[in-house]
Amino acid sequence: MSKPKLLVGTPEIILDLNVGMGNLQNFGINFSTGGMAPVASADIIALIENGAFDVYAAIPKWESSLRELNDLTTKEIKMIESAIPDKFFLINHPSFNKVHIEGSNTQMYADSSRFSSVDRALAFSSGIVNTVIPKVKPDLFWTNDWMLGPAAVVAKAIDLGVISMGHNVFTKETSYDNLLSKGIEIRNFDNYKPADWACWYNGNFDFMASEVNSSDDFITVSPSFLDTILSGAMDYLSPTVTAAIKEKAKHKHPDGRPRVHGYLNPLEKSHSNFLNAIEKEGLENTIVQRKKKGEELRAELGLKEGGSFLVFPNRLYSSQKNPELAIDNAIYLAKKYDLRILFLAGGDPNLVNRAIDVSLASNGLVAYSKFDKRIEEKIKESDNSYGLLTSNFEPCGGPNLNYPVEGTLIVGHAIDGIKDTVTTDNGFPYQHNNIQDLEGAIVKMKEFASRSDRERYIDYIKIANTFLAKYSPASRASKLVDEIFMPLYEERMRNK
């Protein structure tokens, strides 16, 4: 008996599949290592391995990423489809070809001189609805973030089951005429009624609101973030998007299942290097190696020896990440609590300069580096290192999931996804985003750091195993299949 078909549409992915699919087993194609790419990639791989659905994926062909992150020539890029598994579709368009690369991150949402992010979204959606969907004939279509808004509307109009996913839940708008001219048939004809599912704002098509409205189920990336949205407290969201999610929440499936869901993102990997090292080298040798790596890292960054290592691994943006709390108090905290603080982040140039100024004035207690994945991995391989998250809001977060599984615990503001992951059992949460509460959490962190190596590592191991079991890609895929995808497919089969 054939499996039901699930089509996943996402603009952010790392094609590095080790699940027996064609000749990509030993050839990882890196389309983007920033943003949600690791999450989307982990989701797709886990869904394939879950086996309940026949999984297909549609992604833009980001030629900039292929060229700059994979050292491929343009001629090789033009022929790369021959190396892609048959169930993966690359959408081609000139707007994908010369997107700026910053570090290892493809700036897919940044406007260029010739193309806007809306142009890319329309090209991506058009490619999916006019080429991929007719070829695949999926039962369910899982759309990720605002770029897929037009595709979701069309998919609903042709009677596909639609599940929408909102990470940061941003949106964009475009005109009716622009949709039509870019190949999105938004007009109603006889029994094809996409316009009935579209949401309009000031006469323009609202991408994310339309995507939510068109979906049978809407997912965001943590239970607490969903609660914040439904309470109306998420001020940065477009009112149309908030209204669409609230409206969706009012209407349950026929069997009483909810239509809006909060699921934490999965871990970026299905294993723990930390646990693997202990299994291979033994606990005592692993501790010695982690201490050595910690001192090497301090030397590399120009930090003094000793002290607990505290890294701010976030983007330096005021409204969401609140880096000023850490920057303005870094030297004070480092001196009082014997810390070595690293700002490992890009972002607002003014805040970058402030972080650099603080590091230069700190006499080896504070350092700054633009985000570097190599340095981040070294931090997670070091003893007595901790992550610092001072976010004002954090839909899910990444370090709060991916650091503890590697033996690096989190000091974090208990909000949204951080609240759902960082507890007093596995880290150092604080309630109010001010220096007093942050300092209280650091006191708890230092109390933990003062314990014997064996005591700390017993806890590290327990926490890493818990996170691996609870937040693995396989665990998340099972929940999505069992609680959303399969019930929706079966519901649709009953109604045919």
**Closest CA relative to residue 224, chosen from 412, 473, 427, 43:** 412
What span, in angstroms and rounded, lies between the C-alpha atoms of 459 and 149? Answer: 44
**Closest CA relative to residue 84, chosen from 154, 164, 25:** 25
Tens of pLDDT along 246-257?
A: 999 999 999 999
Provide the mean pLDDT of the chain.
89
Long-range contacts of 81-87 (CB under 8 A, 24+ apart): 83/22, 83/23, 83/24, 83/27, 83/29, 84/15, 84/22, 84/24, 84/29, 85/17, 85/21, 85/22, 85/24, 86/22, 87/21, 87/54, 87/55, 87/56, 87/57
Confidence class of residue 27 from pLDDT cuts 50, 70 and 90? Answer: very low
Q: What is the pLDDT of residue 25?
A: 33
Tens of pLDDT along 420-429?
A: 999 999 999 9
Q: What is the pLDDT of residue 26?
A: 38
Tokens of 98: 């010369």
Tens of pLDDT along 327-345?
A: 999 999 999 999 999 999 9
Query: What are the start-end ranges of the E strands in 92-178?
Result: 101-102, 105-106, 140-144, 161-166, 173-174
Q: What is the pLDDT of residue 479?
A: 95
- Whether the per-residue pLDDT at 140 is higher than 70: the answer is yes
Q: What is the pLDDT of residue 104?
A: 57
**% of the chain with per-residue pLDDT over 70:** 90
Q: What is the DSSP letter of 146?
A: G
Domains of the chain: 5-267+472-495 (3.40.50.2000), 273-470 (3.40.50.2000)
User: Edge to edge, what strands does the sheet with 173-174 contain?
Assistant: 173-174, 204-206, 200-201
Q: CA of 110: how far to CAs of 105, 114, 179, 301, 389, in Å?
A: 11, 11, 20, 31, 25
| Interstrand relation of 385-389 and 409-413 (parallel, antiparallel or unpaired) | parallel
Residue with the bigger pLDDT between 56 and 26: it is 56
What span, in angstroms and rounded, lies between the C-alpha atoms of 311 and 385? Answer: 8
Q: What is the pLDDT of residue 339?
A: 98
Q: What is the pLDDT of residue 94?
A: 83
Residue with the bigger pLDDT between 46 and 252: it is 252
Q: What is the pLDDT of residue 88?
A: 85
- Whether the per-residue pLDDT at 71 is higher than 80: the answer is no
What span, in angstroms and rounded, lies between the C-alpha atoms of 44 and 39? Answer: 9
The whole-number average pLDDT for the span 195-221 is: 95
Q: What is the pLDDT of residue 246?
A: 96
The whole-number average pLDDT for the span 18-37 is: 43
Tens of pLDDT along 267-324?
A: 988 899 999 999 999 999 999 999 999 999 999 999 999 999 999 997 898 988 999 9
Q: What is the pLDDT of residue 249?
A: 97
Please tell me the pTM assigned to this model.
Answer: 0.90
Tens of pLDDT along 142-201?
A: 999 899 999 999 999 999 999 999 988 889 999 999 999 999 999 999 999 999 999 999
- Whether the per-residue pLDDT at 23 is higher than 50: the answer is no
What span, in angstroms and rounded, lies between the C-alpha atoms of 291 and 313? Answer: 20
Residue with the bigger pLDDT between 24 and 392: it is 392
Residue with the bigger pLDDT between 426 and 33: it is 426
What span, in angstroms and rounded, lies between the C-alpha atoms of 454 and 173? Answer: 55
Contact 41, 177 (CB under 8 A): no
Query: What are the start-end ranges of the E strands in 61-119?
Result: 88-91, 101-102, 105-106
Tens of pLDDT along 445-487?
A: 999 999 999 999 999 999 999 999 999 999 999 999 999 999 9
The whole-number average pLDDT for the span 372-384 is: 94
What span, in angstroms and rounded, lies between the C-alpha atoms of 176 and 199? Answer: 11
Whole-number CA gyration radius for the chain:
23
